[in-house]
Amino acid sequence: MQKKPIVTADRRSFLKLMCAGTVAAAGAAGAAPAAAPAAKAAAAMPKGKIGKLELGRLMLGTNHITFYMHSRDLRYVNDLSRHYNTDAKIFETFAAAEAAGVDTFITHSDPKIEKLFCEYRDRRGGKMNWIVAPWFSAEGMVKDLAAYKRIVPQLVNSGVDALYVPGMLAGPLVNQGQGAQIGELLEVLKATGLPSGISSHGLDVVQFCEKQKLPIDFYVKTFHHLKYPTAPKQEELATLRQSQKRHPNSDLLADYAEVPGYWCGNPDETIAYMKTVTKPWIAFKVMAAGAIPPRDGFKYAFANGADFILAGMFDFQVADDAQIAREVLAQLKTRPRPWCG
């Protein structure tokens, strides 16, 4: 006699849920997705200032959203991110960030992302601040003075709140002895009247800008420790810099490679030098692109001088990361660098 299959209440609930999901998915085909339920507002995020802007100390980064994730030798990760972060999911990420107290989105210019973010603010009621580095446009790469003069007014018209020269541009200019061009690009940004900054992977860019006394309102600089398994040894860094004939504080070509995958090769020197810098500092790559846990990376950055941190986050990571940032800041009693923003 054949036994009847045992169907538990849990299984019945599961099957009912799955069937309901299938019906809902079928009914949604060709229709606009329903709006996601509003997330519960979290506790206030501690804030600092850049110019007249008052900004939360944890900011939303862009690589998850623009599909430039650093994945070392895991080549499928960008495709995975692209399939997960649909336009609808990107809107959900913005909303989740804002609900968690993350009130600023920092990105390089990208026509698609600009369109989505403008829709989020203009049509969906978003109130996040928007800091942009001119880099891509509909006309191509934004890498010279003529392109800046053309693209920056467009960004201002789109509603950006602050601008900065990206590290992918500032680093090579300094390394190639053409650092004076940074000042020319900065002049275009400053003419907008918005807070204007410089980003860099290498400490030498910050040192150059400070030596030249460029009128910078803020820096965006990589910062993380080297105590994770795939981090380089100091002798490896020295050998690499020597082989590339680079300054000890310059960014390395390996910064842009996925193996070994590190972005701040001299954290101790960065801590020491940034103590002398009185402009607000937004630290990025604080988790070494995923190699360092959030609590560890956030604590290290804030405790050692960063005024703000920029973190790439998927929608399901935002609430936890925001809570970690609040806890780290609440527990932080002393730090070697005064708050500069």
Q: Is residue 19 part of a domain?
A: no
- The tally of domains found in the chain comes to 1
| 277 secondary structure, DSSP code | -
pLDDT digits 0-9 by tens, 55-96 = 999 999 987 787 666 777 777 877 888 888 899 999 999 999
- And the tokens for 214? 């460029």
Q: Is residue 13 part of a domain?
A: no
Q: Is residue 151 part of a domain?
A: yes
**Tokens 């004076």, residue located:** 180
Rounded to the nearest 5 percent, the helix, strand and coil shares of the chain are: 45, 15, 45
CA gap 98, 313 in Å, rounded? 13
Q: Is residue 2 part of a domain?
A: no
Q: What is the pLDDT of residue 1?
A: 43
What are the C-alpha distances in Å from 2 to residues 5, 7, 8, 11, 12?
9, 15, 18, 21, 21
Q: Is residue 272 part of a domain?
A: yes
pLDDT digits 0-9 by tens, 263-313 = 888 899 999 999 999 999 999 999 988 889 999 999 999 999 999 999 999
CA gap 101, 27 in Å, rounded? 34
**Tokens 């990571």, residue located:** 317
Number of C-beta neighbours around residue 317 at 10 A: 17
Q: Is residue 337 part of a domain?
A: no
Q: Is residue 340 part of a domain?
A: no
In a structure prediction context, what are the per-residue pLDDT tens digits for the chain, which is 341 residues long? Answer: 444 443 333 333 322 333 333 333 333 334 344 344 445 567 899 999 999 999 999 999 987 787 666 777 777 877 888 888 899 999 999 999 999 999 999 998 888 899 999 999 999 999 999 999 998 777 778 888 999 999 999 999 999 999 999 998 998 899 889 999 999 999 999 999 999 999 998 899 999 999 999 999 999 999 999 898 877 777 776 676 666 555 555 554 444 455 555 688 889 999 999 999 999 999 999 998 888 999 999 999 999 999 999 999 999 999 999 999 999 999 998 899 999 98
Q: Is residue 243 part of a domain?
A: yes
C-alpha closest to that of 119 among 65, 158, 83:
158
Q: pTM for this structure? A: 0.82
The CATH number that applies at residue 206 is 3.20.20.100
Q: Which residues are CB-neighbours of 54 under 8 A, at least 6 positions away?
A: 47, 48
Residue 292 CB burial class (10 angstroms; 0-12, 13-18, ≥19): buried
Q: Which domain holds residue 229?
A: 45-331
